[in-house]
Structure formats: C-alpha cells, structure tokens
Amino acid sequence: MAKYSKIPEATVRRLSNYLKCLDELESKNEKVVSSATLAAMCNVNPAQVRKDFAYFGEFGVRGMGYRIKDLKNHIKDILGINREWRIAVVGIGNLGSAILVYKDFLKQNYKIVAAFDIDPVGVTGRISERLGKPVEILHVDSLKEVVKQRNIEIGIITVPPQEAQKVADLLVEAEVKGILNLSPVPVRAPEHVKIRNLFFTSALDSLVYYLSK
C-alpha cells in the first residue's frame, strides 16, 4: 500500500467490500458488472464506486462496465493480498477458536501458521473434540521464537483485556509488521508496527446511532 499511502481509510474498507461482492458475482458466472450494480450490492452510490476506483486509475470500459476478473486482480494488487500473509493468533478462547477454522482466510491469501495460548494442551484437547486440529497450538512463551522461525508478519490478539498489551509487546519484540487487536481494550505499539483495534461494541454504537435518528 506504500504507493497508495494517501488513500482515505474508508476507501480501503470499501475496496474490501467490493471484492466480496465481485466474488459473489463471479460465483454466478458473471463476467462484467456496472458501477450501478456493484454500488447496489455494496450499499453505496455509483458515484462513490467510480470515485474510489479513480484513486488508482481507469479500470472500467466506457459503456460496458468492469470486467470482474480484471477488477478483482486490480483490487487484490491495491490491497496487497496478491501474495500470502502469514498470521499467528494469540489467545484460543471462543473467538480465537472461531478464527482458526474460518475458511475464507485462505481465499484472501491469509494463512494462519501458528496459534498461542497460556494452556496449549488444554486448549488443544478442547477444540480438537469439536473442530479437529486446524493449526498447532503452542505456549505463549514460545511466541517470539516461533514468529521469527515461521516468518509470521501479522498477529491477531484475542486474549482477555488485562493481557492484551503484554501480548502486543511480545509481538512487537518478535518483529511482526502488523497487529489486529480483537481484545476489548486498545493496545499500543511503535509507529513502525501497524495496529488496528477493532471493537465489537463500537460497531454496535455506530449502528444504534443511525437507528436512533
């Protein structure tokens, strides 16, 4: 994303949504889509679709629309998901377990190559009964070593709130490039490590704001 560093974050989020809609169209053997159709599927207006794509060049064909396969490839290149990203999940409770078996990760070139917990033996037994063994679960004490050995670039934090910053610090020391924090408290890291703090209640707050108007 370095060459697109000044792109609004809202546009980046919409690109991800456009990609999901394009996947749906492609699954129906559609070859071409108009900005109006894509906008309707993604709950935006056609002008917004055209504006978002205009940041990156001209992708459409006048009077025809967008070739779905080509547009998908363009978006993947823009988002940086045209190559594999190796991920570790830290904290294998209910949320962490669900992430381990989330199949759509592989569609976007995200590969979970390790998972960590304070009780790896107990966790492995618990989730193996329900889910099989989707990935090796290791003790969190081995995090730094394993992250470096397996070339892990992204850490996903799903630990209790009181442990979140400790885990973030461990991931920083292990030299990950980015952290997705799903714990219900924000975490901090040096500027060279990109962080996204995602809170379920914030999404609900936004929804309720519009419902209450």
Rounded to two decimals, the pTM is 0.87
What share of the chain has pLDDT > 90, as a percent?
69
CB atoms closer than 10 angstroms to residue 136: 14
Tell me, yes or no, if the two domains 2-79 and 85-201 fold the same way.
no
Query: Which pLDDT value is given to residue 204?
Result: 87
Inter-residue long-range contacts of 127-133, CB under 8 Å, 24+ positions, other chains counted:
127/92, 127/97, 127/100, 130/97, 131/97, 131/100, 131/101
CATH superfamily ID and name for 85-201: NAD(P)-binding Rossmann-like Domain (3.40.50.720)
Mean of the per-residue pLDDT values for the chain?
Answer: 90
Q: pLDDT tens digits, residue range 168-213?
A: 999 999 999 999 999 999 999 999 999 999 988 888 888 898 899 7
Q: pLDDT tens digits, residue range 13-66?
A: 999 999 999 999 999 999 999 999 999 999 999 999 999 999 998 787 777 889
Domain ranges of the chain: 2-79, 85-201
CATH topology of domain 2-79: Arc Repressor Mutant, subunit A (1.10.10)
**Stretch 91-102: mean pLDDT:** 90
Query: Which pLDDT value is given to residue 19?
Result: 95
DSSP for residue 158: -
Amino acid identity at 103: K
